[in-house]
Amino acid sequence: MTKEEADNGRDDMVIDVPGQANAVPDGFNANYLRIYYGKLFPHADMFKWMSYGNDGKHPGCDKSYFGRREFSFTLENDIYIRFQSFNSVTELENSIKEKCPFKIDIGPVYSVDPAKRHAYAQSGDNVFTPVERELVFDIDISDYDDVRYCCTGADVCLECWPLMTIAIKVIDTSLRDDFGFNHILWVYSGRRGVHCWVCDGKARRLTNEQRAAIADYFHVYKGNENSQKKISLPGLVLHPFLARSYTEVLKGFFEAKLLPNQNLLASEERYEKILEMIPDASVASELRRRWQENKRASMSKDDINIVRWEQLKSILQSGKQKMQGLRRCVEEIVFSYTYPRLDMEVSRHMNHLLKAPFCVHPKTGRVCVPIDPNNCDEFDPTTVPTLSQIWAHNSCDVFTWQLLEELNRGGLRQDAENEWDRTSLGESVAFFRTSFLQPLLKSCKEEIENSYNAKLQQSKNDLSW
């Protein structure tokens, strides 16, 4: 079919296709999900990722690897099925298309195919146990409700989203510089947070104890509604990780963005929360007195928050302050507002299930797209494609639609790639491939080869007399 014919055909198609921009309902819709899985969900890419190079092409490949990975599906009506496993991309794809899960979770790689787990014991010799699992992190903006006044709960806007951005920066830098990890995927969770998948071989093979250690290394914010002081930074100086996070990310963000945007010192209710964190009551009173006298924005044209923050810093950091607890008070305040608040439990255990990238969030209809940590300032959760938008966009262009079908059936075709690019989702998939998947697979192949060669060498050595 030529493009002309397609264009002419489009007029006939309009009536059938429920794709008029006005008529498309917002957000999530089970029918759209079915089409999404049918046409757009990157099954092949997910398969390649989860195979970690074990595609059978090299003699060192582990053919059972993909089949030992647990997936779990949440179906319509909250029916939850665990321990799903597949032996090929076709099995994976067919199952997803058939069951049309509202949510797909990825679990660990087990010692044996999860479908056969009942034949194995829980302890002793013949065991069913996780053997590999990405190191994962989950950050949810609703954990920051006490420091954002623009939204609460599940809502997110461009004023408060930057809290997620700086969390990504702090954690990503540390994972790479401190821990030496390279293959890191950040994903928008679809509504109000981000997930992080660390996929290096070393990361996948970490024990629960090691995962807990990394989570604890990142654990600085310790609190709940009941604890007064949630950040405690004792010691004469900060650990290099905390110092770097502060100077490179947190301080700047707090002073230039969060403070003025959330008006943290503008009203009594809000500045009291900060004054509470100052262990020296006389200092707190002094500031309170000054700010109460100065209720209106004063002579200065500068933002009242910034003015007051400077006053606070100058008192706390002046040489006169000898009191032990004040030494790091300014940093503690900044940390308590901005430092990443991770869900510790998610990271600690190998068997924790986490939502798969490219799923669609049932409440918002938004696709869980990757986020580029090097450009995370540009990421805007409010413009992430939703199911209905994708559908609307695609339904207008049958040609593209057909190409997409080709794409999902077979391999990547050169011209198809350009068409794919045009859709907003296409950009995300492209990013996933070039920034994450390809380097990862390259590294995996190397690992498989090296390991195989080492084994060969070993058996040669063993045989020699």
Partner 1 sequence: MEVFQSHRKSSSNNVIVSILPFYRSAPPLEVRLEDFEFFAMDRLRVLKGISDGLCRGKKPEEMEKLVVDLWKANMRHPQAVEEVNKDIISHFVLRLVYCRTEELRKWFLSMETTLFRHRFRLESSEAQRALMSEFKLPYKAVSNAEFESVKDKLGQVARSMGQNLPAADAIFYKVPFEEVPDLVSGRRVFIHKGHAYVAMNQVVSLVVTQFRSYISKALILTNRKWTSTIREQEKDRLTPIVEALCTSYLGPDYSQPQEFGEISIKDIDQVAKTSFPLCMRHLFEKVKEDHHLKHGGRMQLGLFLKGVGLKLDDALAFWKAEFAPKVSAERFDKEYAYNIRHNYGREGKRTDYTPYSCQKIISVTPGIGDHHGCPYRHFSEENLRAALVRMGVSSRAVEDVMDKVHNRHYQLACTLTFEAVHGSSCDAGINHPNQYFIDSQRVLQSKNGSVA
Residues in contact with partner 1 by CB under 8 A are 123, 177-181, 202, 206, 209-210, 212-214, 216-217, 234-243
* 196, containing H or E segment: strand 193-198
Nearer to partner 1, 234 or 411 (CB): 234
Directed axis angle between helix 414-422 and helix 424-431, to 10°? 120
**Nearest CB to partner 1, comparing residues 135 and 167:** 135
Rounded least distance, CB 218 to partner 1, Å: 9
Out of 45, 55, 70, 105, the active site residue is: 70
What sections of 125-253 are H helices per DSSP? 162-173, 201-204, 208-218, 240-245, 251-253
Burial pattern 1-24, b for ≥16 Cβ within 10 A else e, equals: eeeeebeeeeeeeeeebebeeeeb
For the bound state, the minimum distance from the C-beta of residue 246 to partner 1, rounded and expressed in Å, comes to 12
Measured torsion, CA atoms of residues 195, 201, 207, 208, in degrees rounded to the nearest 10:
0
Question: How many angstroms separate the Cα of 158 from the Cα of each of 172, 256, 266, 378?
Answer: 21, 15, 20, 11
Distance in Å, CB of 123 to partner 1, minimum? 6
- Pick the catalytic residue: 55, 113, 132, 138? 138
Rounded to a whole number of angstroms, the minimum distance from the CB of residue 169 to partner 1 is 18
The answer to whether residue 70 is catalytic is yes
Query: Based on CB atoms, which residue is closest to partner 1, 196 or 242?
Result: 242
Nearer residue to partner 1 within complex by CB, 213 or 297: 213
Between CA 243 and CA 97 the distance in angstroms is: 48
Q: Check 45, 93, 113, 140 and give the catalytic one.
A: 140
Are 130 and 108 in contact, with CB atoms under 8 Å apart? yes
Least separation, in Å, of the C-beta of 389 and partner 1?
41
Here the tokens at position 100 are: 């049309």
The smaller minimum CB distance to partner 1, of residues 192 and 328, is found at 328
Measured distance CA(124)–CA(400) in Å, rounded: 55
The reply to whether 12 belongs to the active site is no
Residue 23 in tokens:
């008529």
Residues 6 or more apart in contact with residue 343 via CB below 8 angstroms: 137, 138, 139, 140, 143
Residue with Cβ nearer partner 1 (175 or 360): 175
| Choice between 44 and 212, CB closer to partner 1 | 212
Does the annotation count 172 as an active-site position? no
* In the complex, minimum distance from the CB of residue 462 to partner 1, in angstroms, rounded to a whole number: 21
Token pair for 225: 């509604």
Smallest gap, in angstroms, from Cβ of residue 134 to partner 1? Answer: 15
**Among 112, 237, 138, CA closest to 191:** 138
- Return d(Cα 101, Cα 80) in angstroms, integer: 9
Active-site residue numbers? 70, 138, 140
